[in-house]
Amino acid sequence: MPFEAFHTAKFRRSGKPVDAVSSLVQLPSSNSKFPAGAVILIALGVVLLLDNLGMLELRRALRYWPALLIAAGLYMLYVRVTSSRGNSGESR
């Protein structure tokens, strides 16, 4: 809830419309209607199905979950750096 409150306040301060349900996953384009939650659920379902079918050993795959956190952090850093470069030319 604190994250949602932070994002809601941030949108209100900037004059952007506030959605009824905000997301922790912020995509680079604010006008995007990309269904990030649906894609995450589908990917999770595929992974669990492959585990049940014996095509993927989930124990082995979960050994490398810190690499996913690192990749997510690098992506967030990339988005932050590229968006701040685009805004640096604007006057306040």
Q: What is the pLDDT of residues 9-51, one digit of tens each?
A: 888 888 777 765 555 555 555 556 778 788 889 988 998 999 9
Distance CA 73, CA 52 (A): 30
Instruction: Assess whether pLDDT exceeds 70 at residue 84.
Output: yes
Higher pLDDT, 9 or 92: 9
CB 80 within 8 Å of CB 29: no
Specify the pTM. Answer: 0.45
Average pLDDT over residues 65-89: 83
pLDDT at 39: 86
- Here the tokens at position 46 are 């595929």
According to the model, what pLDDT value does residue 46 have?
A: 92
